[in-house]
Amino acid sequence: MDKEFWHERWRTGQIGFHSPQPHWALERYWKTLDLPADEPVLVPLCGKSLDMRWLRQCGHPVEGVELDPIAVQAFFDEWESEGSLTMPARTASWTAADGVRLWNLDFFDYRPEQPLGAFFDRAALIALPEPMRAGYVRHLRSCLRPGAMGLLVTLEYQQNQKSGPPFSVHVEEIEQLTGFDFRLLERRDVLADSPKFRDRGVSALHEAVYQLTAV
C-alpha cells in the first residue's frame, strides 16, 4: 500500500472507515486503564476521528498523526462550531487546538518530543497489510515509555473473503507483538452491523479490543 491510496480516499470522499461517533470501547474500557486524566494520548493514523474529541473531553491532551492534510483540516473545520479551533501552530507540520495536536505526516516519520504514556489504536494496525504491521508495532513502541498503556481494536474475518483495508488481524498475530504485553478485553460479533462486509460475502466478522502495555 502506498500513500497515494489514502490521499485518493480523502480526495474522493471514500472514507467509510470514519465513524460518526466515538468508538464504543472507549466508553467501556478506557477508564479501566486507570491513567492520569492529564496523560497525553497518541492516536496513530487518526484521520478526523471523533475518538480524539472524546479523549480530550476526558482531560487528555491528544497527539494525533495523520498522513492526509484534508483529514487534518476536516477535523478542525468540523470542530469549529464548538469554538475550539485556534490559529495554525508555528510550523507547517502540525496544527493544535484546545489540547489536540495533529501532525500531518507519515506515522513512520513521527518522533514525539518525549515518549508518551498512553495510546489508542482503533484503525491503524488494521489499515496496514501484514508485511507492514510488525514495523508499525516497533515504531509505535518507540514512541512510548515503558509501562505505557492503551487500547487496540482489531477486526477478525476470513481474509480470502474480502480484501483489505481494513485487514483481518487475529489473536495469533497479537500474541507475537514485540514490545507489548496484551490482554483481550472483549470480542464481539459485529457482522449484523457491517453491511459492507456482508455485501462482500464475509460470513463472520468480529471486533476485538485488547489492553496493551509497553514493556
pLDDT digits (tens, 9 = 90+) for 22-71: 999 999 999 999 999 999 999 999 999 999 999 999 999 999 999 888 88
Residue 203 reports pLDDT greater than 60: yes
What are the helix and strand counts (H, E) for the chain?
A: 7, 8
Which range is least confidently modeled, 43-47, 88-92, 134-138, 143-147? 88-92
Which parts of the chain fold into alpha helices (H)?
A: 3-11, 24-29, 51-57, 69-79, 130-142, 171-174, 195-199
Gap between the Cα atoms of 175 and 180, Å rounded: 9
Residue 83: band (very low, low, confident or very high) from pLDDT cuts 50, 70, 90: very low
Which cell is 120 given? 489508542
Gap between the Cα atoms of 163 and 166, Å rounded: 8
The pLDDT assigned to 1 comes to 61
CB 76 within 8 A of CB 85: yes
H/E element, 97: strand 94-97
Q: Which amino acid is at 112?
A: P
Residue 89 reports pLDDT greater than 60: no
How wide is the angle at C-alpha 49 spanned by C-alphas 84 and 34, nearest 5°? 90
Gap between the Cα atoms of 54 and 49, Å rounded: 9
DSSP state of 170: -
Residue 9 reports pLDDT greater than 90: no
Average of per-residue pLDDT values in the chain: 90
CB 128 within 8 A of CB 136: yes
DSSP state of 168: P
H/E element, 146: strand 144-156
Taken in order of first residue, the domains within the chain and their CATH numbers are: 3-13+22-214 (3.40.50.150)
Axis-axis angle for helices 69-79, 3-11 (nearest 10): 40
